[in-house]
Structure 1
């Protein structure tokens, strides 16, 4: 199938799919926690008793996460990937808000995390399709953030490996 025959899904089709969380992330709470510097899993957040000996620390993080979840309430995460190999981290998030698509990119060395890097940029489907078909977008094998094949499937774009 050539580029001319690639049939990208419509915005409505993409929004109505189950969200995809890959590599280090399995849920929206993981994404929020990493960008907001709240290191808490979904299971820890939903627990009714502290899963750790330090209950006050757990309660403090649980309250931070509750506030962060409210902050991101209108953010409909569609696709999110985070890799952390070779003492580095690289993340990419696609989300919908008010009928528009946005992406967030974040990265770090071994000293830091993704905190303070939530800077959404509006993106259009044709731009994502172009990056997937004609570049190496989603093929970062250094940090382990490879998501190109999964994103192509999610968007309905032909998968072409360029690396």
Structure 2
């Protein structure tokens, strides 16, 4: 099964998902400004924690450049709340337990892990522009060093 991969210029798939507190957050909430939408496999795992903390630590610079950040995983809101509180994350973490948004962005499907082909979340990052179009689409990103590379790519 091959999921769709998004490319720059594509319309970003709309979403409305619950955050860690059960409030609905939609892509449409960010119209008029850029937003990084990143997909990660599981809250509180080492790689995902490193990546989330990197976004947290770079949030001021991204925000200063007019870029918001939203993280999406299949985790339930209660797990996201624990993760957010433990790591003092200051951006929304959204819950996509049925993986519909992950699939819409091509961030769920076959991947290679430890030499085996498995089906799961493909660590991916997208920059959605102020009009809701994909500006940057990165698949199979590394948890470590990814935010620094993204900032370089965006000149932030």
TM normalised by structure 2 equals 0.31
The structure with the largest alpha-carbon Rg is 1
**Structure with the largest fraction of helix:** 1
TM normalised by structure 1 equals 0.30
**Structure with the largest fraction of strand:** 2
